[in-house]
Structures are given as C-alpha cells and as structure tokens.
C-alpha cells in the first residue's frame, strides 16, 4: 500500500525531536529507537484508546511501537500508523514490532499469521517479528492464572526450530526485516543460536528495577541480541489476577522515589530512564499524554549519576511479575518450571 505524504506531522512543541531520542544498533546495522510505546491495553483500555495513543505518541516524538496479534488491536493501530505516515513520517523512520501468538507455531500457520499482522497494521513489512512465547500453548485472553490448556506442551527444541525456520522464511520473503524471541531463557537461547540460520536480533523480556535479569541480559548483550524490556515500570496497574502477595512495587522503592524527587518526575519515569541508560529498550505503556511524553523526555535529558545507577542495580528483588502459569504443561508444576532456573531446560 503506497503511503501518501499529504501533510506535515510536526512534533509538538513540548515533544522530543525523534533524532534526539537515543537509538541502538542491531547486529544487522539497523537502528532501533531506544524506547518504544507498549500497546497492550489489557482489561483497562480499548483498542480505540490505544490507537489514539499511538498517534499522540508519534506527535510527541515516538517512532517505535510494540504490537502483537494477541493484543487484539492491530487492525485499529494500522489506521493510526497510516495517519502518522500520511502526515509525513517516512516508513523508514518508524519501527514496528509484532509477535506470533502461541497457537500459531505450526509450520503452516507462521506465514499467514505474520501476513495478517502486516495487513492489519496496514504495512508492507514489519521491522521485527517475535515468537511471543517459546511454548505453543494457547490460552484465551483474560483467563485466570489457574487456567490450563488441556493439550499444553513443554518446550521441545525440535518443534521450536520448525517454527523458527518459518520465521527465517519471512525475512527471506522481505515481509519482516528482523526476527526475534520473547520470554526466552539462557539455555533455550543457546540452542537457538547453535541452530539458527538467521539469529534473533532481539529478545523481549521482563525487565524493571525489581527484576533486572542480569544473567539473561548479559548473555543477550554478549551474543549481539538486543534486549527489549517489557513491564519497565513494573506494570503497576496489571489486573489483580496477575498479582501475587509477594510481588513488590518498583515505583514505591525508596531508591526510585528519591531519584524521582531529585528530578521532579514520577517514579515511573526513573524506571524508564534507568532502562535506557542500562542498555535495554523499554516499551512502557500509557494512553495518557503526560505519561508517555515524560517517559520519552527522560531519554534525552541528563543521565542518572553513577551513584544512582549503582543504587538501582542494588535493588533487584528477582521479582518476576509475568510468571506465565497458564503455559504449564503438567500437574504438580510451579511457574518456576517455565524459566529453566537450574540452568537447563526443564524436561518434559
């Protein structure tokens, strides 16, 4: 679909010049903005709200949008992206990610699934297409954490590679520029790096001050895989069904609160700023202009001090929020089984 440039999508006076937003360079040489807008509205926001936020975010300087078919709103984000490009933003200056959902890992499903996302988003190609979870286990959106799919399967590397081969074909077809993973672990990534013809450019993973995942982060960086950090603020408004009593709250941590006071910003902004400075790409979600604007502004302001970075490094609580219980495949397991904590892939 050709994009008409019929106007000027100028950045708001209080926005950030997209050229001043930091960028990361992937192993292909491609440049990706070091912050993106999350687009998962969960139970709280409609697709229309989020599509409006995408246009609003672009008008304050965002150029990177983290989408997924399972968010159920790509058909509404598509027209928003068209509006942005009609306003004069070049496709080359946008970064759009989408993700393959768990019930589409089958060899015949990967291509059509990607084509649908590309079509819904009204694009000709995606910058990045991720395998959303390494488990082929469907669960309905919004289901309770105790829900289990009767034919849930463990991670089987041979099967994952069949999916990955189809992901590689999408790059060869030009439908996507990069492929990557999400919710992976070090042992799973090691196998993928061993067997991939096209290696993952990015791994999307949960990362916030109370869940820094230093080992996986270092492994990814050492292997030229750019970490993209989801729930960068600790997803404070996630549904109650996704909260447990032991979960901690990043934006209430005194270290974060004190830095926020010094900078005169909301503690959420400190989490985003820390993420960019540490090296992952945060994808904070918000539909509110003041929030998504301040999350972007902080990426272009004076950095946190070395002492502040050290203090935040010291508040990791190893507190995983998105535990993934719904993907467990047999009775008697706990969510830890999904995350290969022993250093090897949990056996079937």
Ligand X SMILES: NC(=O)c1ccc[n+]([C@@H]2O[C@H](COP(=O)([O-])OP(=O)(O)OC[C@H]3O[C@@H](n4cnc5c(N)ncnc54)[C@H](OP(=O)(O)O)[C@@H]3O)[C@@H](O)[C@H]2O)c1
Strands 126-131 and 202-206: unpaired
Active site residue 292: no
Which residue of the chain is nearest ligand X when measured via CB? 38
- Binding residues for ligand X, rule: CB under 6 A, are 38-40, 66, 132, 182-183, 204, 230-238, 266, 268-269, 283-286, 288, 291, 294-295, 322
Nearer to ligand X by C-beta: 72 or 87? Answer: 72
The tokens describing 254, both together, are 């005194």
Least distance CB 249 / ligand X (angstroms): 11
Nearer to ligand X by C-beta: 29 or 134? Answer: 134
Least distance CB 4 / ligand X (angstroms): 29
Nearer to ligand X by C-beta: 53 or 173? Answer: 53
Nearer to ligand X by C-beta: 338 or 345? Answer: 338
Least distance CB 47 / ligand X (angstroms): 13
Which is the catalytic residue, given 27, 62, 71, 129?
A: 71
Q: Is 306 exposed, middle or buried (0-12, 13-18, 19+ CB in 10 A)?
A: exposed
Q: Is 144 exposed, middle or buried (0-12, 13-18, 19+ CB in 10 A)?
A: exposed
The tokens describing 75, both together, are 């058909």
Any idea of the CA torsion for 120, 165, 230, 263, to the nearest 10 degrees? -100
> Is residue 98 within 8 Å of residue 58, measured between CB atoms?
no
Least distance CB 234 / ligand X (angstroms): 6
| Residues recognised as catalytic | 71
């Amino acid at each position: 679909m050709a994009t008409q440039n019929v106007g000027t999508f100028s950045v708001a006076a209080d926005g950030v010049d997209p050229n001043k937003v930091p960028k990361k360079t992937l192993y292909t040489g491609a440049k990706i903005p070091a912050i993106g807008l999350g687009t998962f509205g969960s139970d709280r926001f409609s697709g229309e709200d989020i599509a409006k936020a995408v246009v609003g975010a672009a008008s304050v300087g965002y150029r990177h949008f983290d989408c997924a078919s399972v968010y159920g709103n790509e058909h509404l984000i598509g027209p928003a992206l068209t509006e942005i490009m009609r306003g004069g933003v070049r496709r080359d200056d946008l970064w759009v990610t989408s993700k393959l959902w768990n019930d589409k890992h089958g060899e015949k499903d990967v291509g059509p699934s990607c084509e649908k996302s590309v079509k819904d988003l009204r694009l000709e190609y995606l910058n990045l297409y991720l395998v959303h979870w390494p488990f082929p286990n469907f669960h309905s959106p919004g289901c309770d954490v105790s829900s289990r799919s009767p034919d849930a399967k463990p991670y089987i590397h041979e099967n994952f590679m069949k999916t990955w081969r189809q992901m590689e074909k999408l790059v060869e077809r030009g439908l996507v520029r990069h492929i990557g993973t999400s919710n992976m672990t070090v042992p799973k990534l090691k196998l993928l790096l061993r067997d991939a013809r096209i290696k993952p450019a990015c791994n999307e993973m949960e990362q916030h001050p109370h869940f820094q995942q230093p080992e996986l982060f270092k492994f990814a960086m050492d292997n030229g895989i750019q970490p993209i950090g989801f729930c960068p603020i600790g997803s404070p408004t996630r549904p109650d069904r996704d909260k447990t009593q032991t979960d901690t709250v990043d934006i209430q941590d005194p270290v974060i609160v004190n830095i926020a006071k010094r900078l005169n910003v909301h503690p959420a902004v400190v989490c985003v700023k820390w993420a960019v400075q540490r090296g992952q790409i945060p994808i904070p979600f918000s539909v509110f202009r003041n929030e998504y604007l301040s999350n972007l502004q902080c990426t272009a302001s004076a950095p946190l001090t070395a002492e502040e970075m050290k203090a935040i490094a010291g508040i990791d609580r190893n507190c995983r929020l998105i535990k993934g219980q719904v993907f467990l495949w047999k009775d008697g397991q706990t969510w830890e089984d999904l995350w290969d904590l022993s250093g090897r892939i949990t056996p079937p």
